Amino acid sequence: MESSICRACLLSDENMVNIYDAKHESGISIANMISQCTGCKVEKDDLLPKTICSVCLQDAQNAFDIIETYERSHHFFCYFRELREEERDNEGSYCSEEDTPKEVESIGDNGQTKTCEIDQTDSEAGMESSEEDLEQMVLRENPFQCLQCSRILTSKENLQGHLRTHTGERPFKCSKCPKSYTRSSGLKNHLPVHSGERPFKCKHCSTTYVYRSDFRVHLRTHTGERPFKCSHCPKSFTTSSNLIVHLRIHTGERPFKCSQCPKSFAQSSSLSNHLRTHTGERPFKCSQCLQSFTHNSVLKAHLRTHTGERPFKCSHCPKSFTRSASLTEHLRTHK
């Protein structure tokens, strides 16, 4: 009979997981994941329990995900560091001739011409640029280049604003609320939120927007433009954020992890909704009665019981329903 004691904390739990049968979302077994996190061998024939509780499993998964993130970041950093060093080496290589001694003619004390060799090692050493010299050279060529991340800006003002993203300085503060910004343009774009001004008006419909970015996204609903295309399937999207969420269907990535149980989600909104099953929070309250709900969609369906609205109509008979699930179930009676 298999032990029901956790391998890590040696406590028992209702939801025990076999570390050799279960797998992490990346595809490796839980046993292999624990081995990589701790550096200790995990062997199937050892005398330790072969199960782990849900709490310790979540801790192990979090540790494994952090290690993977650090490793990816380190590889990314090393790649760009080597790339930058290679570019600097190329910038310092102004001479294409081989490093061979040069022969020059000189006049000796007796007035005769003689040939002598000049070793270029010392002269080239004086021409080699130090790392600081190279940085100064880059700055002369790109006077608005950030030395923190190598971005090149178009003006001194833009460079100053960009540098604040590294220092955390946000000098442009809103007088109406606690928000502050790294650039004056950010504060200028924010102020219409308080004034009620919505300067960006759609010429196709009556919709108005505070921000230009939101307005541009809205225009795509009229033009049909979907510039963000999935590289795995034919789908395309109006915003990059929608594409990022969609890509997790293909990659299986579920970055939003519940701190109370082993579940994880592809979207932060799904995690927020799930957390209410642990906290018991029901923020969506009905204005007609005392009932409250964990999801806004459930509240909307409930409100139809008060208004009498039944938007989900059967295409085979006169019946209609307050919920799409009810219509789906009804359609089976026709099949």
Whether residue 180 is predicted with pLDDT greater than 50 in this model: the reply is yes
Residue 38 in any domain: the answer is yes
- With 0-12 / 13-18 / 19 or more C-beta atoms within 10 angstroms meaning exposed / middle / buried, residue 220 is middle
**Positive or negative: CA dihedral 86, 91, 92, 94:** positive
Whether residue 126 is predicted with pLDDT greater than 70 in this model: the reply is no
Q: Regarding beta strands 172-173 and 180-181, do their DSSP bridges make them parallel or antiparallel, or are they unpaired?
A: antiparallel
Average pLDDT over residues 61-75: 71
Q: Which residues contact residue 271 at a Cβ distance below 8 angstroms, ignoring those fewer than 6 apart?
A: 256, 257, 258, 264, 265
Q: Return d(Cα 136, Cα 140) in angstroms, integer.
A: 6
Tokens matching residue 241: 């954020």
Q: Is-contact 40 74, C-beta < 8 A?
A: no
Q: Which of 16, 33, 54 is the last residue of a domain?
A: 54
Most confident of 65-74, 119-128, 161-170, 309-318: 309-318
Q: Which of 31, 54, 77 is the last residue of a domain?
A: 54
Residue 238 in any domain: the answer is no
- Reference 259, options 281, 274, 280; nearest CA is 274
- Output the pLDDT for position 158: 79
Residue 115 in any domain: the answer is no
> What CATH number did the domain enclosing 297 receive?
3.30.160.60
150-178 pLDDT tens trace: 677 777 777 888 888 888 888 888 888 88
**Positive or negative: CA dihedral 302, 307, 313, 314:** positive
Whether residue 101 is predicted with pLDDT greater than 60 in this model: the reply is no
Domain that residue 35 falls in: 1-42+49-54
Residue 233 in any domain: the answer is no
Q: Is-contact 299 284, C-beta < 8 A?
A: yes
Q: Which residues contact residue 107 at a Cβ distance below 8 angstroms, ignoring those fewer than 6 apart?
A: 113, 114
Band (239; pLDDT cuts 50, 70, 90): confident
The one-letter code for the residue type at 79 is Y
128-154 pLDDT tens trace: 444 455 444 444 455 677 777 767 777
Residue 175 in any domain: the answer is no
Number of separate domains in the chain? 2
Band (105; pLDDT cuts 50, 70, 90): very low
Q: Return d(Cα 162, Cα 148) in angstroms, integer.
A: 10
Residue 247 in any domain: the answer is no
Residue 309 in any domain: the answer is yes
Bridge partner list, 236: 229
Band (121; pLDDT cuts 50, 70, 90): very low
Band (93; pLDDT cuts 50, 70, 90): very low
Least confident segment among 33-47, 97-111, 144-158? 97-111
Residue 277 in any domain: the answer is yes
Q: Return d(Cα 255, Cα 197) in angstroms, integer.
A: 37
Band (102; pLDDT cuts 50, 70, 90): very low
Q: Which residues contact residue 177 at a Cβ distance below 8 angstroms, ignoring those fewer than 6 apart?
A: 194
DSSP letter at 180? E
Q: Return d(Cα 227, Cα 238) in angstroms, integer.
A: 6
**Percent of the residues in the chain that have a pLDDT greater than 70, as a whole number:** 76
Whether residue 317 is predicted with pLDDT greater than 90 in this model: the reply is yes
